[in-house]
Structure 1
Amino acid sequence: MSLSSEKSHFSTSTFGGKDDIPAPVTTTTPPKSRGKRVFRSVALAIVLYITFHHFGRFDTFNTQIQKGHHGKPLIGKAAEESFLKVPDEESCIQASRHYAAEPHPAGSDGDLKTAQDFLALLQAELGIKPPSEIPIYPAGSTNSRHATLMIPKAHTPYAWIDTYYPVMNTPLERNLQALDEDGNVYWEADLKEHADPADPEAHKYSNAVPTFHGLSKGADVSGKLVYANYGLIQDYNALVEKGVNLTGAIVEKAQELGAAGVLIYSDVRDDGTVTVSNGYEPYPHGPARNPKAVQRGSVQFLSMYPGDPTTPGVPAYENATRTEGSNIPKIPSLPISQENGEKLLQLAQNGWNGTIRLNNQVDTGVMPIWNTLAIIPGYIKDEVVVIGNHRDAWVMGAADPTSGTASLHETVRGFGALMKKGWKPLRTILIASWDAEEYGLIGSTEWGEDFAEFIQKYVVAYLNLDGSASGSRFSASASPSLAHLVHGAALDIPHPTDANRTLWDATNDAGKYFGAREDGTTVVDAEALAVYEASMSATDELGVGALGSGSDFTVFLQRLGVASMNHGFGGTTSDAVYHYHSVYDSEHWVELYADPGFYRHVAVAKHLGLIALRLSGSAVLPLNTTHYAFELENYLNKVEKQILAVSIEVDLSPLRKSISSLQAASRALDYEKLVAERELKHIIKKWHKKASKLRKLRRKAWKAYCKFQKKVFGKKCRSHHHSDEHEFDWEEEVSHHDKPQFNEDDTQFEIVRGFALHSGIDIPSLLRDDHDCAKTSERLQLPLPKLLKVIKRIRVVNQKLKAFEQGFISEDGLPSREWYKHLVVAPGRWLGYGATTLPALSEAENSTVAKHEAKRLQTLVDKLVETIRV
C-alpha cells in the first residue's frame, strides 16, 4: 500500500451619373459678381467631384468592416476591453451547475450529453446555424477528417463532434480483505464512498460511479502488506536497501519489483494545517478531509505514453488495429479511503501477520468518446491558435474539470460578443472540449495523433485549461516562449477579490485555515510539506513553471512541438481540502470553499481570453524565443550539477556553445521582429494620414456640390447618414462567402486585409460605405506592393517563431519511451505529472548514454540555429 498525493451602421450615398451635374457655361464676357460666384461654385463642384471620385476609389478591401462602438476597429486594446466586460460570475455559476449536475465519466450517456451541450453553446455563441442532424462524426470518416483539414480554407465558423474508440474499463466486483494466517477473513473493507447528506449532490450520487482505477488490471491476488510511503522511486530504493522483499507485496507502481497489487489512498498528512487534529471539522461540516472520501484516477503509465493504450502513436478509430498496450499495469489496484488506509496500518501495527486479498474485476473494452470542436476563422487561415479543456469527470467533477469548463464557457461567450460587433481574429481560433482526459489524456491525444501533420503545419500555440478553481493560489506553467505572454496577461487582469492587486499577485495567495486549536499550535507533516514546497518552487525567473504532463497539452508540446501553456487556481496547505476525483468534488464544495462567488473562475476566463486575443491578433507572434534560449542554459546548468553528483563523465561544453549560438540567433530574430513590425505600422500610419486628408477633401467636395445643386437647381442631395453604433451583420458576411474561391489571390487578399485591420490604426473609419458604395466598388487605395512586401517579411519571422518549439522534436524520441519526442521537457520517468527538463540527458544512467544524449541535443540546437537565422 502506498500514500499518494496526486494531485452601428454608417453609410455614404453615391453620386448620380454625369447627367446629374450640368456642364458649366463659359463665356469670354466678364461676369457680374453674382455670376462670378456661381461660376466659381460650379467649377469648384466639378473639381471636387472629380477629386472625390479619382482619389476616393477603394482598392480591393472588404465592404463589411469590423467596427466597435464609435466606428473604431475592434482590434487590439479595443477588442480586449470589450471582451473583458463579458465574463460574468452569475453566468459562470449557472454553467458550472449545469455541467456538474450529474456524473459524466468518459464514455457514459452523461458524457455524450455534455458533449452535445457544449456543441450547442458553441453554435449559439459563435453564430453557427445548427444543421438538421447533429454533426457527430466517427473519427477517420470523410466528415471527421474534412472538418479539421478544411480549417485553413474556412470563411465561416462551424462546430462538430469527433468520436474516437479507445479501450477503457468500468468496474465490476471488487473486494479488499485482510486474511489471517489460515486464510480466513479477518477484516473486510467497505469500498463504497458513503457521502454525507449535508452535501446534497454528493449524497445523491454516492454510488453512481464505484471506486476503481481507470485502466487497472482485472485480477484477484493476495500478498503481504508493505507500506511504501509516497511510492516514489526513492521510497522503493529505501525498501530494497532495507532488504524488504517486495515479491508478492502490494505497493504502488511496483510491478517491476514483483509486487502483486497496489492500494492507494489520500493521506491526511498531505492536508497541511487543515486537519481534524488542528481543530477543523471534516467536510461537509468543515474544511478538513472527509475520511470516507476516495480518490479515483487512472493508473495508466503516463510517463510511457498517454492516450488509448492499444493504439500508441496512431488514432483510435473504431476499426483500428490494436496492440496489447504497454502503458497499463499487469497487476491490479484499488483506490481506498483514508479510513480504510488507516485501518490497514493499524492491523499491521497491532500484530496482525496475515495477507491481503485484493480482488479487482473490470469490464475492459472499446468505448466511444466525444471531442467537441469549433473554429473561428481568421484572416490568416494557415496559423491556428488552439484552446482546450477536458469535459469528462470521474463523478460530477465540479472542480476537475467543470471549473475549467465553466471558465471556457465564459471565454466563448466573450468571443461571441466580439463577433457580433464585427470582430474577426487575425489568426484562426480552434476551441476544443476534450473527452476521456481522466483515463489518460485520451481525447486530445487521439486527435493529436490523428492530425499530427496538420497540427505541426498550422498550429502556432496550444492554450490548456483543466480545472480553473480548486483553491486560493494562481499558477501557470508554459513553454518558455510563452512565459512573458502568460505573465503579462495576468498583470493586466485585476485580482479576483482585491482591486488593488493583479491576477499575478494571486500566485502568492494562500488559504485562511491556519489551525483552530485552542492552544494556538498546529501540526504539519514535514515530509509532506517539503514535497509540496518543492513542487511550488519549480518555476523560471518570471514565476512560470515548466510543463510536465497530466493534462491535454501533452500531445501538443511533447510529441508535436507546439508551444503550450496551462493555468488555474489550486490549493495550498492552508486551503480547504480538495477531495480530488471524489464524489465530494461537487458543486456544493466549489461554491462553499473553492471559489465563493466564482471570482476566480471569471479571472481565469479573462486570462485565457486575453492570451488568445494577443496570440490571434498580434502581427508578430508574441513568442519569446530568447527567453527560451536562456532557459535552456539554466536547464543545462541544473543537469550538469546532477551529473557531477553521480560521477558521470561527459563534456557539455559543445552543447553549451551551441546554446550560446542559439541565444545570438534569437536576439537577431528579435531585431528582425522589431524592424518588420515597425515598418508595417509606418506604412499603415502613412497611408492613414494620406487617406484622412483625402477623406476631408471628399467631404468638402460633397458639401460644395450639394450647396451648389440646391442653390442653382433647388434640388437637395440625398441624405448622408452617419451612425457610429453599427452592429456587424455576421449572417451577411457569411452569405458573402457562400461560394468562396480558394485561390492564391484570395488568400493574399485576406492576409493583407487582416494585417491592415489588426495594425492598430483606425482604418475602418476611412472605409465606411453603404450598399450603393459597395455596388460601385468605391474603395480607398491601399499601398498594396509595400504592404505585401512587409507582410511577407513578417510571415517569414512568424514561421521561424513557430518552428522554434518544433526544433526540439527528435523523431527517435526519448530512450525507452519513444512516444515522447521533445528533448527539452517531458514528464519525469518516475515523477508522474512532474516535469523533467533535458529528460534524455538528465536520466542518462552512465557516461556512454550521457555523451550520446548530449550530442543528440546539440545536433537539434545547431539545426535550430540555422532555422531561425535571419
Structure 2
Amino acid sequence: MYVVKRLFRLMDPCCVHVNSRLQQQLCMHISLLFIFLFMFSKKNIFIQVTASPVTDCLHPLHRKFTRLPHLAGTEQNLRYAEQIRKEWLEFGLDSVEMVPYDVLLSYPNKSQPNYISIVDQLGSEVFNTSLAEPVPAGYEDVSNIVPPYSAFSAKGQPEGDLVYVNYGRTEDFFQLEREMGINVTGKIVIVRYGKIFRGNKVKNAMLAGAKGIIMFSDPADYWAAGVQPYPDGWNLPGGGAQRGNVLNLNGAGDPLTPGYPAKEYTYRFSLEDAVGLPKIPVHPIGFHDAIHLLKKVRMNIHTNNQLTRIYNVIGRIRGALEPDRYVILGGHRDAWVFGGIDPMSGAAVVHETVRSAGRLLSKGWRPRRTLIFASWDAEEFGLQGSTEWAEDNAKLLQERAVAYINADSAIEGMYTLRVDCTPSLHTLVYDITKQVTSPEEGEEGVSLYDSWHKRDNWTNDRDAPRINKLGSGSDFEAYFIRLGIAAGRARYTKNKITERYSSYPVYHSVYETFEIVERFYDPSFKRLRAVAQVRGGLIFQLADSLLLPLDVNQYADSLRKYAKSIAQLAQRHPEQMKMYEVSFDSLFSAVENFTIAARDFHERLQTLNREDPLQVRVMNDQLMYLERAFIDPLGLPGRPFYRHVIFAPSSHNKYAGESFPGIYDALFDIENSADPEKAWEEVKRQISIAAFTVHSTAMTLTPPA
C-alpha cells in the first residue's frame, strides 16, 4: 500500500519537485493500478487517493485564500469566487456556475466609526474604546480590514447606566430580576461572549427592556491556561474583539425575503418590517477596553444595512447511474477578516476534495449519483448564501437530495475529532473513521476512530465515540432543519475537560490568520488532512454506494433516548403532569412502532436482490426520504422555517441542538408561566405532534403496497 500511495503522490500536480517526464511515465502504470484498486477496494479508494498528497496541497491552498480580507459582498470575496470557479473547471468538474443573490448585509460607517464612551456628570466623553484592533505583524500594509462591529446592529447613541448580565442568557436575566431585584429597563447591559449565540444575547436584552448591549470576550472564556496571546501563542490579545451578526432569523435567510430566494424579481420587505433585525444598538469590544467601563456609558453606533450582491459557486459532477440523486458538500468562503480558521480551513478542504474528485474523473471514475460542491457566500451574515440557494432550489432538493455534508472550519482545536450529524449517518461515520489514520504524534498506525474514542471526554462507558446533535450556526441549517435532508459535519476540536473556553480564542478577530494555523493549530496540516478524509469519505460513500449507507436502526436507537430524555424533563413537575393529565404514552408507542419498522426494514435490506435495479431504487428512496418524513410543514411555534420535529436549534441558544424541540420549548420555564393550564395544554399539543410525526415516519419504512 505504501507503493500505491507513493505513486499517487508522484503523479500529483501539487508535487512540483517531480519532473513531468517521470509523471508521464507513471501515468500508464497508475491507470492500471487505479483500475485494480477500484475493482477490489472501491470502498477505500477515496481515502487512499487523498492520503499522501493532500497535506502538500492544503498548506499553499490555505495560504492563498487567507492573504487578504474577504468579507461577504466585497470585491476581494468576488475575486476569490471567480478564482474558485476557474480552478474547479480546471480540476475537471462537469459544470461550475456563479449564482448571485441580492441580500441585506451590514457594514460599519467609514466616516462615523462605532465606539463606546464613558461619560461624566456633564455628559462629556472621558474615555473611548478602541476603533480597531492592533494589526498582527506582517499585515500592517493590508487594507480593508473591517473594524470589530456587530452586523445588523440598530443605529443609535443611547446613554445610560451600565448593568453587567454575565453571559446574557435567559437564566442570567431571570436571576437578575427574580433573585436580585434588578430591572434593566432603560439601561445599557454588558455581557461576556460565550455559552450561547450572540444573537440570543441581544434578543434577551431586548426582551428585558435594555436600550443597548455591549459584548466582550472575557479571558476566563477565551484564554487557554499557560498559553501566550498571539503572536507568541494562540490566545486572544486584550485588544482583540469578536465580530459577528446579531440577527434572530430562525432559519429565514435574507431578512428582506424570508422563505424565498433573493432574486431581482422577489418582493422585499421594508427595513422596518425585515425579519430578525435587532431594535437596539449592539457593539463588541476587547477585554482591555471592558475593564475601563464604569457606571455610565454612551454607545455610538452608526452601522449601515444595505442591499448587496453575493455569489455562491456551485460545481457538479453528473452521476453515471442516478444523476437525479444529489450528494452535496458545501462550505462558506466569506470571512470577517482573513478567516484563517473560520472558514478557510474548511474551504481549503472543499477545494482539495474537488481537486481529488477531478483526479478520479480523469482516471475513468464517475460517481453513481451526482456530486454537488458549493462555496457559499455571506454565511457570516446569517447563513444567507446557503439559505438562498436552498430556497431557490427547494422543490428540486426535496425531490432529489440524498445528503448534505457541511464544510465550515475544519480545525477549531488540537485534541480530537468532533462530529455532529443525523442519527442515520452514525454508522457510516464510524466506518470511515476506522479507515483513517490518526494525525496525532505518538499514534502512528492508530485509527482516527480509536483516537477519537480514547480522547472523547464525554464517552465514559459508551462503546463508541459520542456524536452530537446538529444545532445551527452553519450552512447545513436550511438543508437539514427546513428541507429534511440528511446532514452532518466533522471537524477537529478542543479537549472539553481541560480547555473550558467557549470557542477558540481568536474567533472572528483579526488574529485569525494563516500563521496561527501553521504555527499552533496544525503545523503539519495532518489534522486538516484527517478532516478532509472524513468529509471526502462521507460524500464518496453516499454518492457511490449501491445501497445508501444510511442506518435506520441508529435512528430508532436515538429516538428512544430522546423520548426518554424529554419525558424525564417533564417529570420534574409530577403534580402538574397529573393535574393536567399529561402523558408521553403516545410518543413512546410511536417510537416503538418506528423501532419495529426500522428493524423490519433492515432485515429486508439484508435479503434484497441487489441485481434488481428497481428493488434497489425503492429501498434507496425509502432511506433518502426518511429524514423528509420528520418535517412538519407548519414549522415549530413562532419559528416557521424550523420544520424538523426531532431536531432544531434551541430557542435560547442557536448553536445548540435540541431533540423534540417543540416539547422542549413548551416545557422551558413552565413553572413560572402566568397561565399554567394553557402552558401545559401546549405541552400536550406538542407531544401529539411528535407522536404523529414519528408514527407517520415509521409507515414510510414499510414495504410498498
TM over 0.5: yes
The residue matched to 2:418 in structure 1 has which SS?
strand
Q: Is the 8 A contact 1:226 1:250 kept in 2?
A: yes
Deviation of 1:292 after TM superposition, in Å, equals 0.8
In structure 2, the CA distance between the partners of 1:267 and 1:506, relative to structure 1 (3 Å rule), is farther
Q: Is the 8 A contact 1:161 1:372 kept in 2?
A: yes
Q: Distance in 2 between matches of 1:597 and 1:216?
A: 40
1:611 lines up with 2:541 in the alignment: no
In structure 2, the CA distance between the partners of 1:470 and 1:509, relative to structure 1 (3 Å rule), is farther
Q: Distance in 2 between matches of 1:250 and 1:575?
A: 28
Among 273, 286, 305, which residue is 1:364 paired with?
Answer: 305
1:341 lines up with 2:286 in the alignment: no
In structure 2, the CA distance between the partners of 1:159 and 1:271, relative to structure 1 (3 Å rule), is same
1:88 lines up with 2:54 in the alignment: yes
In structure 2, the CA distance between the partners of 1:508 and 1:340, relative to structure 1 (3 Å rule), is farther
Among 311, 326, 347, which residue is 2:257 paired with?
Answer: 311
Q: How does 1:33-72 map to 2 (within 5 A)?
A: 69=33, 71-72=35-36
Deviation of 1:105 after TM superposition, in Å, equals 0.5
Deviation of 1:509 after TM superposition, in Å, equals 8.0
Deviation of 1:225 after TM superposition, in Å, equals 0.7
In structure 2, the CA distance between the partners of 1:657 and 1:337, relative to structure 1 (3 Å rule), is same
1:666 lines up with 2:603 in the alignment: no
Q: Is the 8 A contact 1:673 1:794 kept in 2?
A: no
**Counterpart for residue 290 of structure 1:** 237
In structure 2, the CA distance between the partners of 1:246 and 1:506, relative to structure 1 (3 Å rule), is farther
Q: Is the 8 A contact 1:222 1:248 kept in 2?
A: no
**Counterpart for residue 317 of structure 2:** 376
Among 204, 217, 220, which residue is 2:154 paired with?
Answer: 217
1:499 lines up with 2:465 in the alignment: no
Q: Is the 8 A contact 2:117 2:128 kept in 1?
A: yes
Deviation of 1:602 after TM superposition, in Å, equals 1.1
Among 669, 675, 688, which residue is 1:855 paired with?
Answer: 688
**Counterpart for residue 570 of structure 1:** 493
Letter in 2 for 1:316: A
Q: Deviations over 1:53-98 (max 9, x none)?
A: xxxxxxxxxxxxx975274373623633553346421210111011
Q: Distance in 1 between matches of 2:234 and 2:328?
A: 37
Letter in 2 for 1:218: K
Letter in 2 for 1:114: Y
In structure 2, the CA distance between the partners of 1:540 and 1:181, relative to structure 1 (3 Å rule), is farther
Deviation of 1:320 after TM superposition, in Å, equals 2.1
**Counterpart for residue 518 of structure 2:** 591
In structure 2, the CA distance between the partners of 1:585 and 1:193, relative to structure 1 (3 Å rule), is same
The residue matched to 2:655 in structure 1 has which SS?
coil
Q: Is the 8 A contact 2:115 2:283 kept in 1?
A: no
Among 800, 809, 813, which residue is 2:631 paired with?
Answer: 809
Q: Deviations over 1:560-585 (max 9, x none)?
A: 00010011112345499530000100
**Counterpart for residue 262 of structure 1:** 213
Deviation of 1:504 after TM superposition, in Å, equals 2.9
Q: Is the 8 A contact 2:69 2:144 kept in 1?
A: no
Q: Is the 8 A contact 2:426 2:467 kept in 1?
A: yes
Deviation of 1:256 after TM superposition, in Å, equals 1.1
Q: Is the 8 A contact 1:111 1:392 kept in 2?
A: yes
Q: Distance in 1 between matches of 2:221 and 2:143?
A: 24
The residue matched to 2:687 in structure 1 has which SS?
helix
The residue matched to 1:855 in structure 2 has which SS?
helix
The residue matched to 1:343 in structure 2 has which SS?
coil
Letter in 1 for 2:38: L
Deviation of 1:117 after TM superposition, in Å, equals 1.2
Deviation of 1:619 after TM superposition, in Å, equals 0.9
Q: Distance in 1 between matches of 2:409 and 2:387?
A: 18
**Counterpart for residue 411 of structure 1:** 353
In structure 2, the CA distance between the partners of 1:70 and 1:372, relative to structure 1 (3 Å rule), is closer
Q: Is the 8 A contact 2:151 2:303 kept in 1?
A: no
1:187 lines up with 2:127 in the alignment: yes
Q: Is the 8 A contact 1:510 1:574 kept in 2?
A: no
The residue matched to 2:71 in structure 1 has which SS?
coil
**Counterpart for residue 552 of structure 2:** 625
Q: Is the 8 A contact 1:591 1:597 kept in 2?
A: yes
Q: How does 1:18-29 map to 2 (within 5 A)?
A: none
**Counterpart for residue 23 of structure 2:** none
Q: How does 1:721-736 map to 2 (within 5 A)?
A: none
Q: Distance in 2 between matches of 1:797 and 1:261?
A: 55
The residue matched to 1:556 in structure 2 has which SS?
helix
Q: Distance in 1 between matches of 2:637 and 2:129?
A: 41
Higher relative CO (Cα under 8 Å, sequence separation at least 6) belongs to 1
Deviation of 1:862 after TM superposition, in Å, equals 1.9
Among 245, 249, 256, which residue is 2:183 paired with?
Answer: 245
Q: Deviations over 1:690-709 (max 9, x none)?
A: xxxxxxxxxxxxxxxxxxxx
Deviation of 1:309 after TM superposition, in Å, equals 0.9
Q: Deviations over 1:845-866 (max 9, x none)?
A: 4210011111111111222122
Q: Percent identity?
A: 31
In structure 2, the CA distance between the partners of 1:441 and 1:189, relative to structure 1 (3 Å rule), is same
Q: Deviations over 1:648-702 (max 9, x none)?
A: 52211111111101111111111121111xx32xxxxxxxxxxxxxxxxxxxxxx
Deviation of 1:396 after TM superposition, in Å, equals 0.5
Q: Is the 8 A contact 1:308 1:446 kept in 2?
A: yes
Deviation of 1:505 after TM superposition, in Å, equals 4.0
In structure 2, the CA distance between the partners of 1:850 and 1:617, relative to structure 1 (3 Å rule), is same
Q: Distance in 2 between matches of 1:206 and 1:593?
A: 25
Among 463, 466, 483, which residue is 1:560 paired with?
Answer: 483
Deviation of 1:285 after TM superposition, in Å, equals 2.0
Letter in 2 for 1:825: F
**Counterpart for residue 462 of structure 1:** 404
The residue matched to 1:224 in structure 2 has which SS?
strand
The residue matched to 1:629 in structure 2 has which SS?
helix
Q: How many residues align?
A: 627
1:655 lines up with 2:587 in the alignment: yes
Q: Distance in 2 between matches of 1:231 and 1:70?
A: 56
Q: Could you state the TM-score of these two structures normalised by the residue count of structure 1?
A: 0.69
In structure 2, the CA distance between the partners of 1:590 and 1:224, relative to structure 1 (3 Å rule), is same
Letter in 1 for 2:58: C
Which of the pair has more CA radius of gyration? 1
Q: Distance in 1 between matches of 2:382 and 2:693?
A: 29
**Counterpart for residue 676 of structure 2:** none
Q: Distance in 1 between matches of 2:516 and 2:533?
A: 23
Q: Is the 8 A contact 1:233 1:830 kept in 2?
A: yes
Q: Is the 8 A contact 2:51 2:533 kept in 1?
A: no
**Counterpart for residue 440 of structure 1:** 382
In structure 2, the CA distance between the partners of 1:540 and 1:555, relative to structure 1 (3 Å rule), is farther
Q: Is the 8 A contact 1:100 1:396 kept in 2?
A: yes
Deviates more, 1:381-390 or 1:568-577: 568-577
In structure 2, the CA distance between the partners of 1:494 and 1:813, relative to structure 1 (3 Å rule), is same
In structure 2, the CA distance between the partners of 1:260 and 1:558, relative to structure 1 (3 Å rule), is same
Q: Is the 8 A contact 2:47 2:533 kept in 1?
A: no
Q: Is the 8 A contact 2:106 2:303 kept in 1?
A: yes
The residue matched to 1:219 in structure 2 has which SS?
coil
Q: Distance in 2 between matches of 1:70 and 1:856?
A: 51
In structure 2, the CA distance between the partners of 1:508 and 1:665, relative to structure 1 (3 Å rule), is closer
Deviation of 1:177 after TM superposition, in Å, equals 0.4
**Counterpart for residue 429 of structure 1:** 371
Q: Could you state the TM-score of these two structures normalised by the residue count of structure 2?
A: 0.85
Q: Is the 8 A contact 1:87 1:411 kept in 2?
A: no
In structure 2, the CA distance between the partners of 1:854 and 1:78, relative to structure 1 (3 Å rule), is closer
In structure 2, the CA distance between the partners of 1:554 and 1:463, relative to structure 1 (3 Å rule), is same
Among 301, 316, 326, which residue is 2:248 paired with?
Answer: 301
Deviates more, 1:181-190 or 1:68-77: 68-77
**Counterpart for residue 776 of structure 1:** none
CA RMSD between the two structures = 2.2
Q: Distance in 2 between matches of 1:828 and 1:638?
A: 15
Q: Distance in 2 between matches of 1:176 and 1:425?
A: 55
In structure 2, the CA distance between the partners of 1:181 and 1:841, relative to structure 1 (3 Å rule), is same
Deviation of 1:502 after TM superposition, in Å, equals 2.0
Letter in 2 for 1:195: V
Q: Deviations over 1:695-754 (max 9, x none)?
A: xxxxxxxxxxxxxxxxxxxxxxxxxxxxxxxxxxxxxxxxxxxxxxxxxxxxxxxxxxxx
